[in-house]
Amino acid sequence: MRRPHPALVVHGALSRGAFAVTVLVSLAVLFAPGDDVPTAPPGVDKLVHLVLFAALAVTGRWAGVRAGVLVGLILLYAAVSEVVQGLSMLQRSASVADWVADVAGVALGLLAWAVVERRPRA
């Protein structure tokens, strides 16, 4: 029976803490008022969404959240964040392209986790 790479073993408080910090960062990024969002070249916003949601997927799996549950919750979170941005006083706009970047980030994060998890131990 193959054992997971030692760096990927669920590390209790460390892995849950990393996931919690990533969630807090995502809250700050996704729900900052429009005036607090820095200007950036075109496409950087999509890259931020991709990386942020990949980080949520990786840290969530490291914390031991089952993949199916994690994907469902993160994709729901992504959709709700876009709706809130479009309807709220945040002075931001909803974007299907941002949600697509979120979905791609989750897929990328899960793929990265699976690749690293399958690496043999040193």
Average of pLDDT values for 55-67?
95
Whether the predicted pLDDT of 5 surpasses 80:
no
Q: Does residue 83 lie in a domain region?
A: yes
pLDDT, tens digit, 9 for 90 and up, residues 26-41: 999 999 888 888 888 8
Count of structural domains within the chain: 1
Contact predicate 105/58, CB 8 Å: no
Q: Does residue 1 lie in a domain region?
A: no
Residue-number span of the structural domain to which 107 is assigned: 6-118
Average of pLDDT values for 94-116?
95
- Output the 3-class SS for 71-86: HHHHHHHHHHHHHHHH
Rounded to two decimals, the pTM is 0.87
Whether the predicted pLDDT of 65 surpasses 80:
yes
Average of pLDDT values for 107-114?
96
In angstroms and rounded to an integer, the radius of gyration of the C-alpha atoms of the chain is 16
Q: What percent of the chain has pLDDT over 90?
A: 64
Q: Does residue 76 lie in a domain region?
A: yes
Q: Does residue 38 lie in a domain region?
A: yes
Whether the predicted pLDDT of 7 surpasses 60:
no
Q: Does residue 18 lie in a domain region?
A: yes
